[in-house]
Chain A
Amino acid sequence: DAGVIQSPRHEVTEMGQEVTLRCKPISGHDYLFWYRQTMMRGLELLIYFNNNVPIDDSGMPEDRFSAKMPNASFSTLKIQPSEPRDSAVYFCASSPRGRWTDTQYFGPGTRLTVL
């Protein structure tokens, strides 16, 4: 089975531009997570979905960030307008069910650089 798929793998943009990151979870997984990783703050959960419904977005840093999951096989994380401090690696992860023994499977990440 294919793992979690993310695109693009690298994104370089200028401050003020809109950025859209994409994720395809593992088929059959009910949970999808968006993380951001920086050297200073480590791996931070931004938002997660259960069956396409956003459950907890308390980690979304501000209104410039939004995430959607229109169907079970696709999610987007949008930053508008982007700022240099948004530069980070953004990971998408999925897991099968809502159990506390579930493993999260990570995608390869999108490295975002905002100039």
Chain B
Amino acid sequence: QKEVEQNSGPLSVPEGAIASLNCTYSDRGSQSFFWYRQYSGKSPELIMFIYSNGDKEDGRFTAQLNKASQYVSLLIRDSQPSDSATYLCAVFPSGTYKYIFGTGTRLKVLA
């Protein structure tokens, strides 16, 4: 069973702080990793993806991948109340063309 695990939260951070969201996966052969944001009552939308070990930055967002530890994270710098949402980690396992989604972490940024 190829699984993706996330802490459901809620993760509460004050405005301006760094929010750190974590995701672990079971399939060591997984190739790519996606972070989606989902506002309440809306559909998931892509924030960024990563497929090489290390960090990838896009504006206030940084994705970090450690394949040896089977761990991917998303850092949000200077968190804003508008970042309050559920963040879904999706993994592209080996040998298939379909994402496996985690159950998501709910982030609350407190003004």
Query: Chain A, interface size: which category?
Result: 20 to 34
Mask of A79-108 contacts with B, CB within 8 angstroms, 1/0:
000000000000100000010110111111
* Contact code string B69-111 (vs A, CB < 8 Å = 1, else 0): 0000000000000000000101010001111111110000000
Knowing A101-B32, A103-B46, A108-B42 are in contact, say whether A42-B51 is a contact too (CB < 8 A). no
Docked Cα-Cα span, A107 to B45, in Å, equals 10
Is chain A's binding surface mostly helix, strand, loop or mixed? strand
A24-42 contact mask (Cβ, 8 Å, vs B): 1 or 0: 0000000101000000011
The answer to whether the Cβ of B34 comes within 8 Å of any Cβ in the partner chain is yes
- B44 on the interface (CB 8 Å rule)? yes
Q: Which of A41, A45, A107, A108 has a CB less than 8 Å from the CB of B98?
A: A45
Given contacts A31-B97, A100-B31, whether A108 and B43 have CB atoms under 8 Å apart is yes
Q: A33-B98, A45-B99 are in contact. Are A101 and B51 (CB under 8 A)?
A: yes
B45 touches A104 (CB 8 A): no
- Is the pair A43, B51 in contact by a Cβ cutoff of 8 Å? no
Taking a contact as CB atoms under 8 Å apart, the answer to whether A106 and B45 are in contact is yes
Q: What are 6 residue pairs bridging A and B, where the CB atoms are less than 8 Å apart in the complex?
A: A43-B104, A48-B97, A91-B44, A100-B51, A101-B51, A104-B99
